[in-house]
Amino acid sequence: MTDRPAAPNKRAAKDGPAAAAKRAAADRPAAPNKRAAAAPNKRAAPDRPAAPRIRAARARADEQARAAPPKRRARGARGASDAEREADDAELAPPRPPELDWDDTPSDSVEEARAQRWAARGEELFQQLADHGASQHEYRADIKEGRFVWIAPSGRVSAEARARLLCSWSRATSVLVMAWADPLASSAGIERIDGMPAEQDSVDEEGAWQIAMAAADACGAAFLYRVSSPLAWYFLALDDLTFSPKRASFHPGAPVGLVLRAIGEVREAIGSRAEPADVIRDRISALSDSLFHQARYAYRDTDWVARLERTGGCLMHLAKRIPRASYSAIAAGQRVDEWLERELAVELIHALSLIEDEWSLFG
State the pLDDT at residue 285. 93
Q: Angle at Cα 304 formed by Cα 300 and Cα 309, nearest 5°?
A: 85
**Cα 153 from chain centroid (whole Å):** 23
pLDDT for 120-139, tens place per residue? 999 999 999 999 999 999 88
Query: What local confidence, expressed as pLDDT, does residue 63 receive?
Result: 36
Domain boundaries, the chain: 16-242, 256-360
Residues 246-257 as b/e (b if ≥16 CB within 10 A, e otherwise) read eeeebebeebeb
pLDDT tens per residue, range 241-269: 999 998 888 877 788 888 988 899 899 98
Q: Is 310 exposed, middle or buried (0-12, 13-18, 19+ CB in 10 A)?
A: middle
Question: Any alpha helices (H) in 7-55, and if so which ranges?
Answer: none
184 and 170 Cβ atoms separated by less than 8 Å: no
**Residue numbers of the chain with a pLDDT score lower than 70:** 1-108, 230, 325-336, 363
Predicted TM-score of the model (pTM)? 0.62
**Alpha-carbon gap, residue 204 to 34, rounded angstroms:** 18
Q: How far apart are CA 240 and CA 264, in angstroms?
A: 35
The pLDDT assigned to 330 comes to 58
For residue 287, what is the DSSP state? H
Helices (H), 149-233: 205-218
Question: What letter does residue 188 receive in the DSSP assignment?
Answer: G
What is the model's pLDDT at position 161?
A: 96
SS3 93: coil
Q: How far is CA 331 from CA 165, 317, 334, in A?
A: 49, 21, 8
For residue 217, the model assigns a pLDDT of 96
Q: Which of 124, 113, 78, 93 minimizes the C-alpha distance to 15?
A: 93
